[in-house]
Amino acid sequence: MCGIFAICQCPARTGKFFDLEKAKELSNRQYHRGPDFRGFYQDSLSGDILVHERLAIMDLGISHPLQGSNERSQVIHNGEIYNHQHLRDHELKGVHLRTSCDSEVIIFLYEKFRDGAFCNLLDGVFAFALCCDGKFLTARDPIGVKQMYFGVDSDSRFFFSNEMKSIEDVCGNTRVSPFPPGHYYTPETGFVRYFEPLWFQPKNAINPLDLCSLHDKLVAAVHKRLMSDAPLGVLLSGGLDSSLVSSIAVREMSRRGYTIHSFSIGVDHNSPDVVAARKVADFIGTIHHEFYFSIQEGIRNLRKLIWHLESYDVTSIRASTPMYFLSEKIREMGIKVVLSGEGADEIFGGYLYFHNAPNNDEFQKETIDRVLHLYTSDCLRADKSSMAHSVEVRVPFLDKAFLEEAILTEPAFKRPQILDCGRSCEKFALRSAFNHDENPYLPAEILWRQKEQFSDGVGYDWIDKLMQHCSDQISDEEFATAADQFPINTPHSKEAFYMRKIFHEHFPSKEAAATVRKWIPKWQKNQDPSGRACTAHLQASHDIGMEKLEETEKIAQRPRKA
């Protein structure tokens, strides 16, 4: 995990090269992503620039850019290539590589194939840029686990960066956008999609449920993500997804002779997630650590958090707050890598609003849409709130082989099922795949625990008091100007308006505002993203956000003075 920054000079309308020192200054805005080493390269003939901020995970002593077969062949990479040893032994057999760093295979694969389609050979997550004999190429992993943006300046140069803050003021008047996942870019081809799996099309989800295959592919996905030369732990919320990942990781690390640290957070020791995580940690045998944050600490941190997060989406900010504080504590303990459970809710329709899906086809379409936009929500949250403190989060559920197995399973097997107790249970297929009577992975009460969204699970007071605080900061008169001030994704609550104001202060361009996609539940009247807004929640608060929303909608509709 690192920070990459690159400039492609070729499309520029000017022959003047971008200043390397200025490029290093821009890259330094994401220094938190890679505080261990800095490296840079500018091609003397093309003018293309690569700058790298390194968080050392593999082959700890080296720095990027990594050189290929000659000095004009260089690569910078953010992420992990889990099959790098296989690539060394097969596609690159006989090629002399200088390091054991997984990133090095990228530049030698490009030298061999000279085509961005080689990205399909990579099993991992990545945002990378390379220069090779005057050619330039950059690419992003299939789902967008690694964050990446591109921009175009007034001279038509292309800029690339993990975080928008490095390019927004340079490119904000022209073009700033998320780099599309599953694509590569060259100045000759523009953006090209290299990743086109069968599961993109909902009609292809016709496979019967195979619990053994689901089980084996998730286990394999977790095992490959234990690759690290740096200390490693697990994020443990006590929900199904992180608990399964933690249990699988503990079994494998124990087999290798290691113990593993687990981490949870809440507003106090009675928070739903903290209580559940405590039970899981005791059951699976981790060295467990609980941390707490106060609601006032969360509120005071909003401005800093939104700068790191680069989003004004309400649910992302709510959920990023505890993850930001937890990552800070994890880094203080010297741990650089953690496994987490992001992605399962999108794949299996785990959010409570999926209980309201009208039919199998709509259920399947919505799961695919959620997976394809993870780069705007949970992947963005997990990456940026953890990398604010130089901690890498790995997400086994978004493994390519596991995605293929799970998404192509017929939707009828993934929809919520009625349990013997009468409760409708989401992610029934996933739970069933790990429901082993002998040598169980989890306590039954955790395996069948109802979905609790992270921002709720840390303590229900967090959302309730955050909403009240934001509402208190925005007058009725100010909120009535929402559409005029923010025509892109106009905020429809005072909480959203307050977050948007802070975002605008950090990133004032319209281009920056357009990079954000709001997370909104489907098939329910209450559009608040809290899980408690859904009637399927056992402790549903059906009017959460509704009273204030109705009030502010009336304010927004009032006629204005001429």
Sign of CA dihedral 42, 43, 46, 50: negative
340 annotated among ligand-binding-site residues: yes
* C-alpha to C-alpha distance for 449 and 238, rounded to whole angstroms: 9
- Cα-based distances in Å from 189 to 32, 131, 135: 33, 15, 12
Q: DSSP for 471-489, please give it.
A: HHHS-HHHHTTHHHH--TT
Q: Which two tokens stand for residue 228?
A: 């690290």
CA distance from start to end of the chain = 54
* C-alpha to C-alpha distance for 206 and 390, rounded to whole angstroms: 41
* C-alpha to C-alpha distance for 47 and 401, rounded to whole angstroms: 39
* C-alpha to C-alpha distance for 511 and 176, rounded to whole angstroms: 5
* C-alpha to C-alpha distance for 192 and 4, rounded to whole angstroms: 20
- Tally the residues of the chain: 562
430 annotated among ligand-binding-site residues: no
The phi, psi pair for 394, rounded to 5°, reads: -110, 140
* C-alpha to C-alpha distance for 238 and 226, rounded to whole angstroms: 20
Q: DSSP for 73-136, please give it.
A: EEEEEEEEETTHHHHHHTTTTT-------TTHHHHHHHHHH-SGGGGGG--EEEEEEEEETTEE
341 annotated among ligand-binding-site residues: yes
> In sequence order, which ranges of 167-265 are alpha helices (DSSP H)?
168-171, 211-224, 240-255
57 annotated among ligand-binding-site residues: no
* C-alpha to C-alpha distance for 110 and 122, rounded to whole angstroms: 12
Catalytic position from the list 2, 131, 379, 534: 2
Residue 293, by phi and psi: left (phi above 0), alpha (psi -120 to 50) or beta? Answer: beta
Burial class of residue 82 in the structure, from the number of CB atoms within 10 Å of its CB (0-12 exposed, 13-18 middle, 19+ buried): buried
The 3-class SS string of 349-369 reads CCCHHHHHCCCHHHHHHHHHH
Residue 375, by phi and psi: left (phi above 0), alpha (psi -120 to 50) or beta? Answer: alpha
Active site includes 2?
yes
235 annotated among ligand-binding-site residues: yes
Q: Number of H helices and number of E strands within the chain?
A: 23, 19
- List residues forming the annotated binding site for L-glutamine: 102
Residues serving a catalytic function are: 2
- List residues forming the annotated binding site: 102, 235, 265, 340-341
- List residues forming the annotated binding site for ATP: 235, 265, 340-341
